[in-house]
Amino acid sequence: MAGISKLAVVEDGAQIGEGVTIAPFAYVSSKAKIGARTTIGQGAIIEGDTTIGEDCRIFSHAVVGSIPQDLKYHGEDVKLIIGDRNTIREFTLLNPGTEGGGGITRIGNDNLLMGYVHIAHDCIIGDRCIFANAATLAGHVEVGNGVVVGGMTPIHQFVKIGDLAMIAGASALSQDVPPYCLAEGNRAVLRGLNLTGLRRNLPREAVNALRVAYKELFERGKPLKETAEALMQSSESEEVRAMCRFVLETKRGIPYERMKDDK
């Protein structure tokens, strides 16, 4: 039986899974769907057509599913979909999608959103990501799996961040960051590979191949997309090919410091 406080407000129509706990003064809308064993803390707000998976932890005063902060939004039916085992800490703000972005904001599984994090409309977040305190994602941002975003870091709308990338704290990111890379600064630029994250998640041969590819792409001073195309053809590493594919498909460009060819 769900452990719902008599001081919580759960509107008729809300779908509440087995073992859900809802603390005093929390609010759950009539369109919400809450998965089994999820906990919703004191004063948290679950608005709109919001789906939250199983075993999530929503902490005090989080606002999940309130309407987009977009002047083009005029009451359309939009959704926020959150996967399983996510931790959403105090005073976070998560918005659903907009008509112009497909109508859905989607957050995967096993993510940690620390205090005051904002995930705006139409963002797509993968699995196992960490957003440190006050990280702020504007609309339409796409984030891969295993990404770390440091505290106090804003990310510009429509930016894409690849798998296992890391954005340092107090940075300001306005361009796309390829998978496996580390970016830092205001404005943020590539500083190398996210070697700590790579060593935790990839075999040594994959890391070594990425080190060679990173140097060819970003430190030789060669034309970026031509180099990426050549590496796509020559490399047998799927990780290298993923990095090159990202470079070839970027819309906002890659933030790296151009260097002269050192051959």
Secondary structure (DSSP) of 144-170: -SS-EE-TT-EE-TT-EE-TT-EE-TT
Q: Is 200 exposed, middle or buried (0-12, 13-18, 19+ CB in 10 A)?
A: exposed
> Among the options 122, 127, 163, 176, which is catalytic?
122
Determine how many CB atoms are found less than 10 A away from the CB of residue 115. Answer: 16
Q: Please pick, among 97, 118, 121, 146, the residue that the annotation labels catalytic.
A: 121
The burial of 206, by beta-carbon neighbours within 10 Å (0-12 exposed, 13-18 middle, 19 or more buried), is given as middle
**Which amino acid is residue 140, in one-letter code?**
H
**Tokens 């954005």 belong to which residue?**
167
Listed in sequence order, the residues at least 6 apart from 71 whose beta carbon sits closer than 8 Å to its beta carbon are none
The rounded distance, in Å, linking the Cα atoms of 26 and 221 is: 55
Rounded distance between C-alpha atoms, residue 92 and residue 65, angstroms: 11
Residue 142's nearest CA partner among 168, 94, 171, 106 is: 106
**Active site annotation includes 122:** yes
Query: Residue 200 corresponds to which amino acid?
Result: R
- 121 a catalytic residue: yes
Count the neighbouring beta carbons within 10 Å of the beta carbon of residue 46. Answer: 29
Catalytic residue among 97, 108, 139, 150: 139
Catalytic positions, written as ranges: 121-122, 139
